Structure 1
Amino acid sequence: MDISKKLVETHSLTKEECLELFSLFNNSEVMEYLKEEAVKVRKQYYGTKVFTRGLIEFTNYCKNNCYYCGIRRDNRNVERYRLSEEEILACCANGEKLGFRTFVLQGGEDPWYTQERIADIVKKIKKAHPDCAITLSVGEKSKEIYKAWKEAGADRYLLRHETANTSHYHMLHPESMHLSNRKQCLYDLKELGYQVGAGFMVGSPGQTWEHLAEDLVFLQELQPQMVGIGPFIPHHDTKFAKEEAGSVDLTLKLLSVLRLLLPKVLLPATTALGTLDPLGREKGLSAGANVVMPNLSPVENRKQYELYDNKICTGDEAAKCKNCLSARVRSAGYELVEDRGDYIG
C-alpha cells in the first residue's frame, strides 16, 4: 500500500514507514493529499473550532541549563522576574473577561515555586474560575508532586519531550538531565489522569530524519492528548546562537502527519511558527492544527520570557492580541471559540 494512504487509513506508522514518508516530503502531490486529509480528520472531530489557551508566563527563573533556551540558568543577561500570586490571579480574571476558558501557567523550573505554592495558586484559580481548565507547564517533578497538583485542581500538563533519541537529547541538554526521566514524567502524568502534552522542536541542532521518525513513534506509544511542535529558533545567548532556524515548511508537513497519526489530538499553531512566518499560525491551522495560545502575561514581562529571539506578541496587551488572533483565525476559515477545548476521548 502507498505509504501516504496507509497513514490516512490506519493512523499509524513504524519508524521505517516514517522514513519512507519523509522521503516523499518534496512530492507536492503527496503533501497536498496529506494536508487535505489532515484537515478532514480535524473537522470530523472538532469542526471549524479553534480553541484558545491563555498563556501566563509567571517566572523566568530556571534551575536547568538547556543549551537552546534563552532563560537557562547560566544566562547572566536575563532580567529575571516572578509574578506574585495576585498578579497571576489578575491575569486569569482578565482572561476570563476576554473569553478564555483555559489558563496555562508556564515557567522555568523555579525552585521558589514549591509544591505548596503552586497547589495554592491552582486552588485559588479554580475557586475564582470553576468552569475553566488549568494547564501547568513547569517541567520535571516527582509523581507525588504531580499528584498533589492534580488534587489541587490542575487539569492538564505540558512537557515537551524535545527529542525521543537519547544521544540527541544529550546534545541539547546538560549531563544532569535525562530523557528517561522526562519520558517517565509524561507516563506518570498520564497515569494520574492529566490531559498530557508532549512535543519537540523541528530543526533543532543535530536533528536527523531518524530522530524525527523516533519522535513520531514515541508519540504513538504515549498517545498524548496534546502535541506542541514548532520550528527551532536560536537565542543569541546560547551555544546554538549561530545555528540555523528550523523550517516552517517542514513543521507544517509534520503537523499534518501528526493530525493523521493522532486524529483527536489538540494541536497548537505555535508562536514559533508565527515568529518565523507572518502567516505561520494561519498556515498551521490550514495544516490540521486547532489550538492557539495568546499571551495573558503582563506586557512588561513578556520580553523577559524570551526562550528564543524575536518572539512575537511581546508588545500587545491581551485584548488586542486576542482580537488580532480572532481575525487571523477567521481568515484561515476557522472560528475562535470561548470553550475549555477539552480533548475528546
Structure 2
Amino acid sequence: MRRGIFLGAGIVVALGLASYWGLTEPSVGSGAEITLQPRTPDLANGLVAFNAGGCSACHAVPDQPDRLKLGGGLALRSPFGTFYAPNISPDAADGIGQWTEAEFVNSLMRGVSPRGQHLFPAFPYTSYAHARIDDVRDLFAYLKTLAPVPGKVRDHDLPFPFNIRRNVGIWKLMFFDRKPFAPDSAHSAQWNRGAYLVNSLGHCAECHSPRNFLGGIISAQRFAGGPNPEGEGWVPNITPKGLSDWSAKDVDYFLKTGQTPDGDSAGGSMVAVIKNTSQLPDADTAAIAEYVKSLPPVEGPPKPKKAEKAKAGG
C-alpha cells in the first residue's frame, strides 16, 4: 500500500517536472521558424528603428555624453530585482559582434538569446515582437556600423526564484502576445504608422501601463500610467484621460523638444527617450502624436496619497 502511494507520488512529480520542462523550453515558440531571405539592408531605416526603439536610452554607457557608445551597464530596478542593460555594441567579445542576423531577430522578437535561453522581459521583446522583421534586420545592420565598446556588463541581481530563466517560459505563456502588427483600414496611413511605432519599436506601453504582481501589463489599463517600475515616482497616463489638455501638435512638439504645453520639460527617464524621439523624421513624430490622441480615455490606477506633513514640533 505504502509502496503504491510512493510510486504514484513519484509518477505525479515526474509528470509535473516533465510538463514544466516542456512548457518552459525556449525553443517552444522561440521563433526558430523564422527564415531570413537574403536582402540588402537599409541603413537609413535602421537608424529610424534605432531611434524609435530608444536603444541608446538603456544601452548607452551611463554617465558619458555619447549616446552611440552602446556598452550597456545601466541599472534597471524593478520589484523582481535589478537588471543591467547589456552591451549591444559590435564588440566581438562583450557585445553582439559575433551574433548572426537570425540570432538578433530571435532575441528582439522572441526573447530567446543566441545561447538558447529565455531573455527576461525587462527587455521589451513583448513589444518588439510586433515589429516588422525587415525593420529589425535593418536595425541590426545599423548597430554593426557603430563603434565597438569593450567591457562586459555584470550579471543581473535577482533573488530566487526570479533568477531562474526557465520560469520565463511560463511568463511568456501568460503574457507574451506574438501577433504581428495589422494595419487598420479604417484609419489613415499616418495613424497606422503611429500605431505601429507606439506598439512595436517605441514600446510605449512597457513604461506607461500598470502591471500585475507577475509583471504583466494590465490590458484594461494599457497606456494609463502607474507606479514607476523602478520604485520612485509615477509614470503619466498618456491616454486622453491624462493628456486631455494636449493637442496632437502638443504631443508632437513634446516628442521633438521635451517641452510640455504649460512650459515645463520632460524629466526622469523621459529625458533619454526625448533624445531618441527628437531624432525621428517629422512624419513619424506626427504619426505617433495622432495615434496617441486617438486612444480611448482610460482611468489609471489611483496615485497614493501623499503623507501628511509633520506638524511643527512633532
Q: Structure 2 length normalisation: TM-score?
A: 0.28
More helix by share: 1
Q: Max radius of gyration: which structure? A: 2
